[in-house]
Structure 1
Amino acid sequence: MLIYLFALQLFSNRKLAMCLALVYGFFTMAWPYSKYTFSEPPQTLCILLSFYALKAYTSSKSMSWLLLSGLGYGMAILTKVASAVFAPAILLYFILLMLSEYRANPNKRARNARFIRQVLYMGIGFALPVGTMLLYNTIRFGHPLLTGYGSAFNLFDSSILVGLHGLLLSTGKSIFLYSLPAVLSIPAFIYLMRSHRNEAVVFLLAIVSNLLFYASLSYWHGDTAWGPRYLVPIEPYLVLPLGALLPTLWRRRGWRISLAVVAAVWFLLVQAPAVITDPRTYIGTGTPHILRYYSPVDSPIVFNLRNVISLVRNWSINWFAPATEVLPPYQGEPGKVYVDWLLTTKHSVKGPDLVLSDTNTWCGLSVTYFYSAHFFHLVDAWWWYIARYNNNGWLTLLGLIPLGLVAYVLYAFRRSRRLDDIPVQPTAMAQRAPTWLISLLAVFLIATNAILFSSARADSARRLNIDFASVIRLCSYSMPHRVRAGHTIELRLYWECLQPVAIDYSIFAHLLDANGTMVAQKDSSPVNGRDPTSGWYPGYQIADFLHIQVPPDLEPGQYEIIVGIYDSQTMERLTIDAVGTSQVSLGTITVTQ
């Protein structure tokens, strides 16, 4: 919707605006990411709302649009603190738009007063959610600028050229492979510069600043996700410039045919497989990340396409020729051999289960979770699930409503009239829209505050600041209050290095019953071995995750969790300063059936 409204403000053409909205929905990473709980989709929405509200202000001159713009960008910061990278672009857009109005007012005193009001309205909107974040950080972590990311701000230790090559030119993470509008970005910006110079400069600044920022990270790829996850927020600013280019291309028959063919082929080979299946399954193949990023054969796109082909084959078997024999479970090792077996061997979609040790992968999920045939053949088409497994016809009909909306949008697109060269005038509803949006965001912000601060108060009591041998400090922790037998306890430990460490220490977490008997445990080096303590330095902070598997037959009751640090070579534990013990209790957790 915001893409449509923004394009309508820019190009005054309903059909073109609808076309750009459809391009964004069908030919970018927006659709695959709409199915997951990553922070990038809401971050993208809030930032786009901020830009759009600034543009809408130029038409209505209502200060509430500026309040909404600041509120939108503040919500983006609250959603993901890395949204601060958009600050130069948003600030520049604000200055450019306000400067034109400032110069048009001959009364110096009046224009100065209005400019101050403009700054105050946008600043107040921005300060509300950002103030919420700072207050939460203070309660939760003890300082307004501590976000809990720990070492996330110490990851700028990679060559920016490596990141730029990966984000732009690699076969596994290039934005040009996962977002089709990026292919036409250069000519699109050239055309946009001719008609909308302010927007062209601002959009370019937003894209370049994001590219440079994330290319500097050693974690530039944002893996465990489809495509270059960190670049999802810049996709609207790759789509909107197409509004200046597409009318020129569409008037030429050769270009129309070429664009249609390329779009159809890309959609079938890249987008459709990512929507039909879980596009993140390539992570579980065991393929080294270097090959996933730089080898065309091992690209996630290639794997996902093969995965869909095997899905179609196996669902056909399941529907038309169900296997009657008992299929043996896969008992090999993770990696290419398993992937080849999975994609080439006929088997039921529901199985077979794998016989593998329940050790954790580098991203903290169990091997049995990754290497289950069900996960590799997960159909994300929810309407298919409803029709196939639901007996309630009304619920099936309800699930088809979004598909009907798609058909209506296509119908409206075909029926829409051209409005070239007719400036968009704000309607009465459009002038009231900021009030409705501000009210909605205010309610959301109040609800967010209630949830955040209730959890922050509980988590603030979990700040420990316990020093192990004056070398490593356990700053705080978080864990669930209850867990079901057979499920996993996710334990978060926040560490800080106090002195240079020469030894690679391991972390242990034990689950004890009322008699002090260990009933479950988890031992691991920090971040599953990806961040050994020998690489830590004084002041280094990190958030670690430990997953304790609770036995399925464990009796319900209260169980204690203890943690500590030991040398994996000598098995010698570090003692806690001023106490002399080698373990710290994190309290109890309730186990239920």
Structure 2
Amino acid sequence: MGAQVFLVLLTIYCAGYAGRAYSADDISSLSVGWSIAHRGDLEARIDAWTARFPDQSNTFGPAGQVYSKKGPLLAFLAAPAYRLTSSTGLPAIPLITTLNPVVTALTGWLLFHLTRLAGFGPRPAALTALVWGFLTLALAYSKFLFTEPLATLGLVVACLAAVRFPGWVGALGAGLGLSFAVLARPAALALVPALLPLVWSGVRRPGRILGFGLGLLPGAAGLGLYNAVRFGSPLESGLSPIETFSTPLWVGIPGLLWSPGRGLLFFSPAVLVGLAGFPLVWRAHRRLALTSALIVLGHLVLYGAWYGWDGGHAWGPRFLVPALPFLVLGAGPLLDGWSRWSLALKSAIVVVLGLSLLVQGAGFLTDFNRLPQPARPNDPMLWELPNPAWTATLQLLGQGQLDPVWARHGLWSIPVLLGAAAALALLPTPAHFRRKLLAAGLALTLTVLGFQVDVASLEAEPRELELAAALNTLQNHVRPEDAVVVVAPYAQTWFLNHYRLPNPVLGLTEDSLRLEPRFRLTLSRLLKPGAQLWLLVQGFAFPDPAAELDAELHRELCWTGSVNSFGGVRLSRFLIPGNFHDLGIQATFGRSLGLKASAWDAGTTLAPGDSFCVRLEWEPASPAEGVNTRISVQVLDAAGKLVTQHDGPPGAGFKQPGPTIIDNHGLSLPGNLTGEAFYLTVVVYNPDTLERYTLADGTDRLTLAAFRVERPTR
């Protein structure tokens, strides 16, 4: 019957498959998985939420690296999917999001066996697994990429191993299960005392404790190593000073249990049935019952004191998801005695389970990102009744705005086929024939899931097509030593799916255009002299005189003037200068535009296709003169013919401190250029009249340097 439970759960979970990430936590872990697969490090550099939420999911390392605060397990599980899809050209996230449906169904199968080991028959065990799988938050969280389902699996494995194997082997399994949970959610380490009633029992207690410790070692050591590699200390996790246990328990625990916006009793009323059946579990297996109670209590105390007890943007009290199997252990045994209960109790149970089904179905079929979410920890909206999230969910359902892939594309055959697969698991057949039906049902389920992955992989919005065109151009021109900065708000999922270059990436949002010191440090790590920086911007103007990022790039780098536009997406190229060499030339253009200094990072001999930077320092007599002026840095051949040029206002038009304007220009020589004599010159003109400013000798062009172009010898 356990296999039937697994298949029924899996078929329904596949019906909710949406094929996308939902939260900052998802993106943070996926960013690390991308880096593991494509760069072999642990950074979350492609995470475009880094700037907007620097203290939520990510943090900065000692040298400006961007690291995730989340446990490493999901990232390492996602990395193979990135490697697999990198060779096929398909996006990775639709494949990665098949993980939690399988994990949750597997947890339900293990919960069935745990209930059986507690002393109950197949039917109550199946009822327990189905109540947990369909009538609690487990249903909705089967489609998200939050790490709670992985932690849930680890805790159930830990309890199952300890109950199934009475000696040190069981204790070792319990430790390994808890290790799995710790790598998914490091806070699970606090649940060590909760498992002691199962571990500290029977004979040979020292051996069991030793086995438990050995099993826990991979999780604790792995987490410590993960932290040490990133932050230099196994005890440093990257949490900010505000992320502490600062909420009074008399606020956090009631919030987790009965606040309208996050309360467990509102989002999983079925736990009441589990609590009503808890005495049955206590009588059948006291140690398991005690451990279950301690796991639930541990979650309430741990997260009730957490500064953000509500779990941020989520569906219901997500921090309590790993405790749910242990809250409903008694549900199956209670329902199995249905015929013995009074009509009043039966009616109450039907109402509670019916409400649970409605609530879970709503969360399963909609996207919680479209609901009102708390703007800050302990937001008053969490206590509003009726809660805004309820009414918004009902509106989405009423308007038919459903979240699964099949609903978005009108593929109604998908739920029909998955229903048929579930029916194959439930058909009353002889045991020898049941295996074949289960195999057929599993094959059908996985086939339908694979089809949904394909559909999700082919989805593309118009703005994503613009990004695809820009990324194609980038991939055709970027060099291995180049860096990429992406300013595309909320497009981080798309980049995680499609960006496959090994070049370092810093993903920012428009908020980070006002650079803080830590962003400057992170940006400085990308700038390797002689390389290029590509800036991909979506949705707003560039250059933007009000944006500190633009000003910083134009002040420190050399814009080539190259801008490729793809609808609302712009791709610009900057040269990262090497060591500047003073050209020793000063001059005055017109009446009062003084050239105080000039330098470039090239030499007297260049190669075809070379790029170089020119730095000019201007001192206008008045701000207006700088605004109404254009600088043209040009390369001429011996005959005076123009080879290449770069034009722009002094300092690209950005306001700079002090009277001196730093003005950088990036130029690239044609790839087929050769010759003995070329000249680097500068011309100043009025953009309205095109009239050139003259020098003191009456000429209108200043020669800065001479050089030759030779093809490099092999």
Determine the C-alpha separation between the residues in 1 that align with 2:377 and 2:297.
Answer: 29
CA deviation digits over 1:445-494, x for unaligned, max 9? xxxxxxxxxxxxxxxxxxxxxxxxxxxxxxxxxxx9656675455359xx
Match status 1:20 vs 2:136: no
- Does the 8 Å CA contact 1:296/1:302 hold for their aligned counterparts? no
The alignment partner of 1:151 has SS state of coil
- 163, 171, 179: which one aligns with 1:74: 179
The answer to whether the aligner puts 1:178 opposite 2:283 as a matched pair is no
Deviations 1:542-568 (A, max 9, x none): xxxxxxxx99432264688xxxxxxxx
Residues 1:407 and 2:430 are matched in the alignment: no
**Matching of residues 288-307 of structure 1 within 5 Å:** 290-307=379-396
- Report the alpha carbon displacement of residue 206 of structure 1 after superposing the two structures with TM: 1.3
Q: 2:533 & 2:153 partners in 1: Cα distance?
A: 52
Trace 1:139-178 onto structure 2 (pairs within 5 A): 139-151=229-241, 154-178=243-267
2: CA distance, partners of 1:7 / 1:37: 27
**2:118 match: secondary structure:** helix
Partner of 1:362: none
- The within-5 A match list for 1:317-332 is none
Query: Who is 2:326 aligned against?
Result: 237
Tell me if 1:247 matches 2:336: yes
Give the 3 Å change call, closer, same or farther, for CA 27–515 of structure 1 in structure 2.
Answer: closer
Q: Partner of 1:490: helix, strand, or coil?
A: strand
Equivalent positions of 1:375-390 (< 5 A) are 377=401, 379-385=402-408, 388=411
Matched residue type, 2:404: A
The residue correspondences of 1:91-490 to structure 2 (distance < 5 A) are 91-95=196-200, 99-100=201-202, 102=203, 111=204, 115-151=205-241, 154-252=243-341, 254=343, 255-268=345-358, 270-283=359-372, 290-311=379-400, 377=401, 379-385=402-408, 388=411, 402-411=418-427, 482=484, 486=488, 487=491, 490=507
Q: Using the alignment, how far apart are the partners of 1:29 and 1:415 within structure 2? A: 34
Q: Give the match's secondary structure for 1:555.
A: strand
The residue matched to 2:569 in structure 1 has which SS?
coil
- CA-based RMSD of the aligned residues comes to 4.0
Pick closer, same or farther for the CA change 1:404–1:90 going to 2, 3 Å: farther
CA contact (8 A) 1:185 1:238 kept: yes
For 1:485-529, what per-residue CA distance to the aligned partner results, in whole angstroms no more than 9, with x for missing partners? 75455359xxxxxxxxxxxx96685889969998478789xxxxx
Give SS of 2:411's match.
helix
Name the structure 2 match of 1:532: none
Deviation at 1:56, TM superposition (A): 1.0
Structure 2 CA distance for partners of 1:281 and 1:195, relative to 1, 3 Å: same
Unaligned runs of 5+ in 1: 103-110, 312-376, 390-395, 417-479, 493-504, 525-549, 561-572, 574-593
1:287-320 CA distances to partner (integer Å, 9 max, x unpaired)?
9974531111234233212321122xxxxxxxxx
Structure 1 residue 140, shift from structure 2 partner: 0.9
Q: For the residues of structure 2 that align with 1:91 and 1:263, how far apart are their CA atoms?
A: 33
Contact 1:222 1:230 in 2 (8 A): yes
Compared CA separation, residues 485 and 279, structure 1 to 2 (3 A): closer
**Structure 1 pair 551–76 and aligned structure 2 pair: CA distance change class (3 A):** farther
Count how many residue pairs are aligned between Structure 1 and Structure 2.
Answer: 369
The one-letter code matched in structure 2 to 1:260 is V
Query: What is the alpha-carbon distance in structure 1 between the residues aligned to residue 290 and residue 220 of structure 2?
Result: 26
CA distance in 2 between counterparts of 1:89 and 1:400 reads 43
Task: Provide the rounded CA distance (Å) in 2 between the counterparts of 1:26 and 1:227.
Answer: 15
Classify the secondary structure of the residue corresponding to 1:199.
Answer: helix
Question: 3-state DSSP class of the match of 2:335?
Answer: helix
Distance in 2 between residues matched to 1:75 and 1:249, nearest whole Å: 37
Distance 1:291 1:246, change over 3 A: same
- Are 1:48 and 2:156 matched, yes or no? yes
* SS of corresponding position for 2:316: coil
1:315 alignment counterpart? none
Q: Measure how far apart 1:145 and its partner are.
A: 0.7
Residue range with higher mean Cα deviation, 134-143 or 513-522:
513-522
Whole-Å separation in 1 of the counterparts to 2:225 and 2:567: 39
The C-alpha deviation readout for 1:309-341, integer Å capped at 9, x for no partner, is 122xxxxxxxxxxxxxxxxxxxxxxxxxxxxxx
What TM-score results when the alignment is normalised by the length of structure 1? 0.55
C-alpha displacement of 1:27: 0.5
8 Å Cα contact 1:85/1:210 also seen in 2: no
Residue 6 of structure 1 aligns with which residue?
114
* Deviation, structure 1 residue 93: 1.9
| Percentage of pairs with the same residue | 25
- Structure exhibiting the larger radius of gyration computed from Cα positions: 2
Q: State the distance in 2 between where 1:221 and 1:382 align.
A: 28
Deviation at 1:402, TM superposition (A): 4.5
Change in 2 beyond 3 A, CA 1:195/1:559: farther
Preserved contact between residue 312 and residue 377 of structure 2 (Cα < 8 Å): no
1:415 CA drift (Å)? 9.3
Cα 1:7–1:383 change in 2 (3 A) is farther
Q: Which secondary structure state, in structure 1, belongs to the residue aligned with residue 187 of structure 2?
A: helix
Q: Following TM superposition, by how much is the alpha carbon of 1:259 offset from its aligned partner in structure 2, in angstroms?
A: 2.3
CA deviation after TM superposition for structure 1 residue 77, in Å: 0.9
Distance in 1, matches of 2:309 and 2:295, equals 17
Retained in 1: the 8 A contact 2:117–2:164? Answer: yes
| 1:278 partner amino acid | D
Aligned letter for 2:222? T
CA 415–381 in structure 1, closer or farther in 2 if over 3 Å, else same: farther
SS at match of 2:251: helix
Letter in 1 for 2:152: T
Which amino acid in the other structure matches residue 407 of structure 1? Answer: A
Moved over 4 A (4+): 284-289, 399-402, 480-489, 505-524, 556-560
Q: Residues 141 and 508 from structure 1, CA distance in 2 versus in 1: closer, same or farther, beyond 3 angstroms?
A: closer
Deviation at 1:166, TM superposition (A): 0.9
Distance change (3 Å), C-alpha of 1:558 and 1:194? farther
CA contact (8 A) 1:485 1:554 kept: no
Q: 1:509 to 1:257 in 2, by over 3 A?
A: same
Contact 2:155 2:178 in 1 (8 A): yes
Cα deviation for residue 120 of structure 1 reads 3.5
* Contact 1:195/1:244 (8 A) holds in 2: no
Cα shift at 1:176? 0.9
**What letter matches 1:78 in structure 2?**
L
